[in-house]
Structure 1
Amino acid sequence: MTGVSEDDSVTLEGLKKKMAEFAKERDWDQFHSPRNLLLALVGEVGELSEIFQWKGEVPKGLPDWKEEEIIHLGEELSDVLLYLIRLSDICGVDLGKAALRKVELNAIKYPAKLFEDSSKKQNHFKNTTTTDGIDIIDHSSESA
């Protein structure tokens, strides 16, 4: 596997191919069942969580973090992403398309106009479900 320059664009499809090649070169396909990949992913999420465990609230941009802490964070975030991509590949799910679909469904479920000039979180609104299984937020019971 070669290094990545700043000019290289990274896509989910490219990462998927790299991960498949990486596993094949090491004869790891035999171990990459959905269950095993999920458990590995959960382990990596745990490692990611440990980075934040004792830091309390952290401001955006991590202004007080040391460079080596940010590098470590990037490594753990990458581990989570790579296992997620590998899991989706093994399960036959196009992760990019699934993510875009989920954003579209969330736009229906949480209409932007509903949250304009509001600091309220979603749980302050009543959910209703349509016949096609899409949740719609009904804010008619909310007081102004």
Structure 2
Amino acid sequence: MDEVIENLLTFQKERNWKKFHTPENLAKSINIEASELLEHFQWNNNYNLNEVSEELADVLIYSFLMAETLNLDIKKIILNKLQKNKEKYPISKSKGNSTKYTKF
């Protein structure tokens, strides 16, 4: 993971783009790229895996840059959220069930 972050930051620095990577702009970019990812599934499941992987990479790149901009530890925030989700979705109520936790 460190190598990925280092490469992203080098890419950003070489182009002097950090000034454009505000939390607001990054949040917008994440949403835009997520929409482009969703577009591949709009009418059916006949998607091109290479194109989908490129859009997913864009979502992840902007997400990693946002975490870096906000000084958030990616591993920590994911593990914290996973713990919260474990509490909201106990196995006994959620296994094989897609119901939202508020409906249990």
Query: Which of 22, 28, 32 lines up with 1:43 in the alignment?
Result: 32
Instruction: Identify which of structures 1 and 2 has the higher relative contact order when contacts are C-alpha pairs closer than 8 Å and 6+ apart.
Output: 2
Report the equivalent of 1:4: none
Stretches (4+) displaced over 3 A: none
Partner of 1:114: 93
- With over 3 angstroms needed to count, the CA separation of the structure-2 counterparts of 1:84 and 1:119, relative to structure 1, is closer
SS of 1:92's partner is: coil
Root-mean-square deviation (CA, aligned residues, Å) is 1.8
Higher fraction of helix: 2
Q: CA deviation at 1:120?
A: 6.2
The 3-state SS of whatever aligns with 2:16 is coil
Instruction: Tell me which amino acid in the other structure corresponds to 1:42.
Output: N
Matches within 5 A, 1:37-116: 37-55=26-44, 58=45, 65=47, 69-116=48-95
Looking at structure 2, the residues matched to 23 and 111 of structure 1 have their Cα atoms a distance apart, in angstroms, of 41
Matched residue type, 2:69: I
Q: 1:120 to 1:44 in 2, by over 3 A?
A: closer
Larger radius of gyration: 1
Alignment identity in percent?
A: 32
Give the strand-richer structure, 1 or 2: 1
- Structure 2: runs of 5 or more not aligned: none
Q: How many residues align?
A: 103
